A and B are shown apart, each in its own frame.
Chain A
Amino acid sequence: MKPSKMFAFTLGTLSATGGFLDIGDLVTDAQVGARFGLSLAWVTVLSAVGIVCFAEMAGRVAIATKRPPMAVARARLGPRYALLVALASFAVTGLLVMAELSGVALALEIATSIHYLLWVPIAALAAFVILWSLPFEAMERVYGILGLTTLVFIVAVWKLQPDWGVLFESATTTRPPPGESWAAYAFFVAALVGAQMTPYESDFFGSGSVESRWRPGDLAEMRVNVFVGFPLGALIAIAIQAAAMLVFFGPGVHVEHLSQTALPVAVALGKVGLLIAIAGIFAVTFGALIETLFAAAYDVAQYFGWSYGRLQRPARDARFMVLVILLLVAATALALTTIDPIRVTIIAVTISGMLLPFMFFPLILAANDRRTMGPMGNGRVSNGVGTVMLGVSLVVAAAAFPLLVFTRGGSA
């Protein structure tokens, strides 16, 4: 394999790793680790299997049909279904834009002690300048490489010298620890699934495959990105849970702030580790900000058939760019109302969990259409795993909102 091809593989994999992690993950993983230890790590493993399955399917559908997921949904299930899904996905992903923007600002606040609200408009402006002027490949390279800094959480767990037997026992326990209720446990199952199988990830992946004009010959690269990148992201997510468990579980501390996500790294590795963790938090939230901006705009542009894209010059897809700018402005305005970004994140990931079956069902249908997919249609493994994960997402979708209300966002 040529070095340039290897480099492209590596970058694509890193982008997928960063794509798994975002503000929802950073917050939820730390909360879960502090309260439940590793007894919810199985949810992360399950979510990784799910997102690998559906992202690979979305990429394959995009390569075979040369059409993005939302267009495929419209063709399969009619414009009314596609409109409802597009609107719901746009709303939830729009909320996540605000959460990611706040995450970027919070990371900068932790680094500088300047209040995060002062950073919000600056982060938004930086995102706009980068979107407007940098080619998308350059953006992916930067936040893909910077996202490697989140590996510091894995190093921190090792450096904290845990009792591996205790970690293993916690990871193989599938019930809440003493003092926690089954309702809170179930809520965090739903929240983790919503945070780690966010609809925008597979949507963005599929749309990206169309834009990059991937051919059947690119299938191997796409699969490496998915099969290596997302599980690596899941490993980092479990490391965040483990690090939080090792520092917070014993004293009975609940995590409510993003700074607490970074604290275990400081305990383990000192100042340098802390700075690397902050860089990692900045990188994943900034990368997720770009992805959620595009994903939300894709929902609308693909439904209405607008010209759009990351690879075109902004002036050639004016409506798409105007929508991206409006989203950025709305997210900035919402963040500046001082609404708690952590609370918004928890709500957004829970609602995103409710959308999963509506996004994945048309994908499975499309991937099974032999007329359009040809030899790239789903095999037994894809269908088996996809059907199981669809079932899981249906259960999560039904239970997420009642649990969100009944447990008051997991606090009860």
Chain B
Amino acid sequence: MRSAGPSHNDDRNPQSYLRRGHTVSVVVVLLLVLMIAWGSLWYVMAPPRGAADYAHRSAQTAVTLRSQAVTAERWADLVEEDRATREAAVVAFEEAEAAAESAISQQGSWDPPPRTSAAEARSSLQTAGQELVSALADMRISAHRGDWESVPRHAGRLPALASRFTRIERRFDRLEREARR
């Protein structure tokens, strides 16, 4: 004998419609969230789009490299003046070296825009960046070996490198302004 009440599988049952509607809305919201997350990740991780974006992000790389140079130099000075612990300075040298390596590697992976002087600026940045990484590595190695007398000698290369990064940053800023015209 058939049941007198409505069945859960009965398409005419309002509750069935509500349940399906609720499931659909949950799925749609989840898909929307996933699409936004994927889109955001793509935007953040993608290489520069266009000459202006390339110049802007390369300028940011120059700022990052200058920051590592100035910071490492400050720590080296503080240790020499006995105003900082060697342990903290070693950590600072390691962090600066790792950050510089990562920044220059990422910038190097971007293709410079064609028919601009960006390639020349890129070459300057890469060269200075490699020199910075080398100086920071020398500081790190000397510190690890306990050869603290050599650290100021290696740190002496940093002020000139910091000035170069400032000039390179300004060069990329000019390229960005030209590209946006």
A residues at B contact (CB < 8 Å): 109-113, 247, 251-257, 259-260, 262-263, 266-267, 270-271, 274-275, 278, 401, 404-406, 408-409, 411-412
Contacts and interface: CB of A to CB of B under 8 A. Distances in A.
Contacts of A409: 44
B166 to A, nearest CB: 7
Contacts of B75: 263
A135 B86 CA distance: 37
A110 B64 contact: no
Given A253-B70, A253-B71, A266-B83, 6 more contacts: A113-B87, A251-B162, A254-B67, A257-B99, A262-B88, A406-B43
Contact of A271 (B64, B66, B85): B85
B60 interface: yes
Contacts of A270: 82-84
Q: 3 closest pairs, A vs B, by CB? A: A113-B87, A270-B83, A405-B40
A95 to B, nearest CB: 15
Interface in B82-99: 82-88, 90-92, 95-96, 99
Contacts of A401: 40
22 contacts: A109-B91, A113-B86, A113-B88, A113-B91, A251-B70, A252-B67, A253-B67, A253-B71, A254-B63, A256-B95, A257-B92, A259-B91, A263-B78, A267-B74, A270-B83, A270-B84, A271-B83, A278-B88, A401-B40, A405-B40, A406-B43, A411-B60
A257 B90 CA distance: 13
Nearest to B78: A266
A261 to B, nearest CB: 11
B157 interface: no
A256 B68 CA distance: 9
Contacts of B56: 412
- Best-surrounded residue of B64, B92, B166 (most CB of chain A within 10 A): B92
B119 to A, nearest CB: 22
Given A274-B85, A275-B85, A263 B71 contact: yes
Contact of B44 (A251, A278, A405): A405
B164 interface: no
B171 interface: no
Interface string B43-58: 1100000000000110
Contacts of B162: 251
Contacts of A113: 86-88, 90-91
A412 B88 CA distance: 29
A409 B64 CA distance: 14
B83 A253 contact: no
Interface residues of B, number: 30
Given A113-B87, A266-B88, A271-B83, A252 B63 contact: yes
Interface of B: 40, 43-44, 56-57, 60, 63-64, 66-67, 70-71, 74-75, 78, 82-88, 90-92, 95-96, 99, 162, 166
Nearest to B74: A263
Contact of A259 (B60, B83, B88): B88
A28 to B, nearest CB: 16
A311 to B, nearest CB: 38
Nearest to A264: B74
A110 B91 contact: yes
B57 A412 contact: yes
B179 to A, nearest CB: 15
Contacts of B86: 113
B82 A256 contact: no
Contacts of B70: 251, 253
Contacts of A266: 78, 83-84, 88
A257 B83 CA distance: 19
Contacts of B78: 263, 266-267
Contacts of A262: 88
Contacts of A274: 83-85, 88
B91 A260 contact: no
Nearest to A274: B84
- Best-surrounded residue of B66, B87, B90 (most CB of chain A within 10 A): B87
Given A112-B87, A113-B87, A252-B66, A408 B44 contact: yes
A251 to B, nearest CB: 5
A260 B71 contact: yes
B60 A412 contact: yes
